[in-house]
Amino acid sequence: MSNISSLKELHNVLISVNKKYKFFNNVTPLSQLISTVKTDSPIITYALKDNISTKEHPLTCSSKILEGYFPNYDSTVSSLLKHKENWVNLGKLNLDEFGMGSGGVHSANGAVVNPIYDPIKNEVSDEGNFQIEHRVTGGSSSGSAAICSARTPLQKKDAIFDRLAHFALGTDTGGSVRLPAAWCNVLSFKPTYGRISRYGVLPYAHSLDTVGIISSDLKIIKDVYDILDKYDTKDPTSMSESIRKNIKKTDFNEENDVVSVGLIKEFNLTAIPDTTNQILFQFLEGMMNLKGSFELKEVSVKDIGNSLPIYFTLAPAEAASNLARFDGLRYGAKSNLEKSKDNGMFAETRALFGEEVQKRILLGNYNLSSELYDNKYKKAQIMRTEIISQFNDVFKDQHPIYPSNKMQNDDKVDVIISLTGNSKAPLLKEFLESNSHSPLDEFCNDIFTIPMSLAGIPVVSIPIKDSGISIQISGQFGYDDKVLRIAKRVN
Ligand code: GLN
């Protein structure tokens, strides 16, 4: 089948399944898709989380407040991908509004359906052959994880697409690429903070935001990372050339060298279900037996237990300031100023934010208020630096910006392995119930992902076969390549 007819077929599928699954906020029109295919060489399909700007699509962040907004410019990541021959951008993907959430349920366009537990039906052969369960996708990059996981119903021999997309970009502020990927049983990579440009990516919490990559194939993740891993003058937080040079090219040999793996002792929590722990330990055992060249060590990140309160103080504070621009004047739907009362000038516009976003804005402004600033925001900043330095002391490799004071010794490790989430994807009903019971419950899903975001370090998340559980492999700040190489050996 030619590239063009395969794309037509895929496009039909996307349009028809999207009504139910809500993967996309905007599917690229077929004529536009076809115009990007220049040769007969294989097509690579991808899509972008809808907080990443492209010239061709509206940008919504799954929020009513951005209705009708067209950025008319390309983010650096989208322009880098655009230049690859036969790489086709299928569209813009659903997310928790502005990236705030862990389940993929806080979107003005509705919750994304997890395609593992409710697979896309093949009209011809699948009828009645599967058990439907309504489980959450995970968020906030919910559409990104779901399309990399969903199998196309195109099972003809010559169909070139096994999944709906070869890869997707998401953003990860506190776990938003890793958790949905884990719950959808695919791989993901959150690079070191600053490695991939954020120009044109709408900020949630700018000191934590990173662009991440999701795919069912580690090699694709590495190829995409190599394309995007560039200094960008347009992003003031982009990692400079001199820091990049400071990071030693890994002399680590992925075939032969023994990898020392740290297990964080403070992560040994009683709240982790026994079944999850069993799956993790079996995995570690298999890794030690089969691959032969790993050594396990216990490491300590003493204050890791403070990560959630630190994150949920800092991230909403940054969000409150980043979202202040949506006042209906320059950005955001316009309210009718004539009708507005004095103090209600922005109220009509701001009410377009969903409940979760409003909650974060309130929380953020509260933490930044003059009475609380010292005891909340500033304190959280200081505590964050503690976490950064404790992670720093664990790794053999030197941090390129803050070299560790702790002497090199045998306790140091190449990477840390931990869980990504503490269970498989929860049932949608239970997730929503627990949320309405306690609005903080949802925050607890990020317990294993947030610490690495605070430290800005690179993490690969890998599913453990047939379990619905994933592990994370994290390395020293800047050593993304080494983490990816070790992941290859584990995967
Ligand atoms: N679930 C976390 C939050 O709501 C992380 C989100 C993210 O990484 N964008 O803040």
Element (H, E) at 15: helix 3-21
**CA diameter of the chain:** 73
2-50 pLDDT per residue, tens: 889 889 999 999 999 999 999 999 999 999 999 999 898 999 999 999 9
User: Over pLDDT 90: what percentage of the chain?
Assistant: 75
What spacing in Å lies between the alpha carbon of 37 and ligand 1's midpoint? 35
Q: Is 446 in the pocket of ligand 1 (CB under 6 A)?
A: yes
Return the pLDDT at 454: 98
The mean pLDDT of 478-490, rounded to a whole number, is: 94
Range with lowest mean pLDDT among 3-17, 97-111, 212-226, 281-295: 281-295
Instruction: Provide DSSP, 154-196.
Output: --STT---SBS-SEEEEEESSSTTHHHHHHTT-EEEEPPTTSB
Whether domain 3-244 has CATH 3.40.1010.20: the reply is no
User: CA separation (Å) from 36 to 4, 26, 130, 255, 464?
Assistant: 10, 17, 36, 38, 36
360 pLDDT exceeds 90? Answer: yes
Asked if the model's pLDDT at residue 275 lies above 60, the reply is: yes
Q: Is 26 helix (H, G, I), strand (E, B) or coil?
A: strand
Q: Look at residue 210 and tell me whether its pLDDT is greater than 70.
A: yes
- Mean local confidence (pLDDT), 411-418: 95
Question: Residue 140: CB within 6 Å of ligand 1?
Answer: yes
Given a cut of 90, whether residue 283 has pLDDT beyond it is: yes
**Predicted local distance difference test score (pLDDT) of residue 335:** 57
Please name which of 287, 275, 285, 217 lies closest in space to residue 467, comparing C-alpha atoms.
275
Q: SS3 for 99?
A: helix
Q: How far apart are CA 193 and CA 237, in angstroms?
A: 8
Q: Is 97 in the pocket of ligand 1 (CB under 6 A)?
A: no
| Ligand 1 mutation target, pool 173, 448, 453, most atoms within 8 A of CB | 173
- Alpha-carbon distance values, 432 to 65, 98, 105, 360, 444 (Å): 23, 19, 8, 18, 14
Kindly state the average pLDDT of the residues 397-420: 88
- Calculate mean pLDDT across residues 268-277: 88
- Calculate how far, in angstroms, residue 100's C-alpha sits from the geometric centre of ligand 1: 5
**Does residue 87 sit in helix, strand or coil?**
strand
- Residue pair 353/316 in contact (Cβ under 8 Å)? The answer is no
Percent with pLDDT over 70 in the chain: 92
Q: What is the dihedral of CA 449, 454, 460, 464, to 10 degrees?
A: -20
- Ligand 1 atom closest to the Cα of residue 100 is 4
For the sheet containing 87-93, what is the strand order?
A: 24-27, 87-93, 44-49, 167-172, 210-215, 187-190, 459-463, 470-475, 415-419, 259-264, 294-299
Asked if 125 is an active-site residue, the reply is no
Q: Shortest CA distance to 49 belongs to which of 168, 146, 196, 172? A: 168
User: 73 pLDDT exceeds 70?
Assistant: yes
Q: Is the ipTM of this complex over 0.90?
A: yes
Instruction: Compare 148 and 410 and report the one with higher pLDDT.
Output: 148
Residue nearest ligand 1's atom 5 by CA: 174
Active site residue 176: yes
pTM summary value:
0.95
* Radius of gyration of the CA atoms of the chain, in A: 22
Which of these, 431, 414, 397, 437, lies nearest to 487 by C-alpha position?
414
Report the residue among 102, 141, 459 best suited for mutation to probe ligand 1: largest number of ligand atoms under 8 A from its CB.
102
pLDDT over 70 (residue 157): no
CB of 204 sitting under 6 A from ligand 1: yes
Does 302 qualify as catalytic in the annotation? Answer: no
Read off the pLDDT of each residue in 88-100 and give the average, rounded to a whole number: 98
Q: Whose CA is nearest to atom 10 of ligand 1?
A: 100
Instruction: Look at residue 442 in the predicted model and tell me its pLDDT.
Output: 87
Distance 101 CA to ligand 1 centre (A): 5
Determine whether the shortest distance from the Cβ of 101 to ligand 1 is under 6 A.
yes
| CA 416 to ligand 1 center in whole angstroms | 22
Residue 349 pLDDT grade (very low, low, confident, very high; cuts 50, 70, 90): confident
Please state, in angstroms and rounded to a whole number, the distance separating the CA atoms of residues 62 and 142.
Answer: 11
Report CA(114)–ligand 1 centroid distance (Å).
Answer: 18
The residues that bridge with 261 in the sheet, in sequence order, are 296, 415
Q: How far is CA 245 from the centre of its chain?
A: 27
Q: What is the residue extent of each domain of the chain? A: 3-244, 309-374
Which atom from ligand 1 is nearest to the alpha carbon of 177?
8
State the distance from the centre of ligand 1 to the C-alpha of 202, rounded, in angstroms. 14
Strands, E assignment, 331-431:
415-419
CB 194 within 8 A of CB 238: yes
Going by their DSSP bridges, the two strands 259-264 and 294-299 should be labelled as parallel
Confidence check: pLDDT of 193 > 60: yes
* pLDDT of 290 above 70: no
Q: Which atom of ligand 1 is nearest to the CA of 446?
A: 1
Does ligand 1 lie within 6 Å of residue 212's CB atom?
no
pLDDT digits (tens, 9 = 90+) for 422-450: 999 999 999 999 988 887 888 889 999 99
Question: At 51, is the pLDDT very low, low, confident or very high (cuts 50, 70, 90)?
Answer: very high
Pairing status of strand 187-190 against strand 210-215? antiparallel
Ligand 1 atom showing the smallest separation from residue 172 Cα: 8
- As a whole number, mean pLDDT of residues 171-186 equals 98
Q: Could you tell me which of 52, 72, 74 has the C-alpha nearest to residue 62?
A: 52
The residues pairing with 92 across neighbouring beta strands, listed in sequence order, are: 26, 48
For residue range 369-408, list pLDDT tens digits in order. Answer: 989 899 999 999 999 999 999 999 999 999 999 887 777 7
- Answer yes or no: is pLDDT of 479 > 80: yes
Going from the Cα of 250 to the center of ligand 1, the distance in angstroms, rounded, reads: 31
pLDDT of residue 344: 60
Could you say which of 140, 238, 307, 418 is catalytic? 140
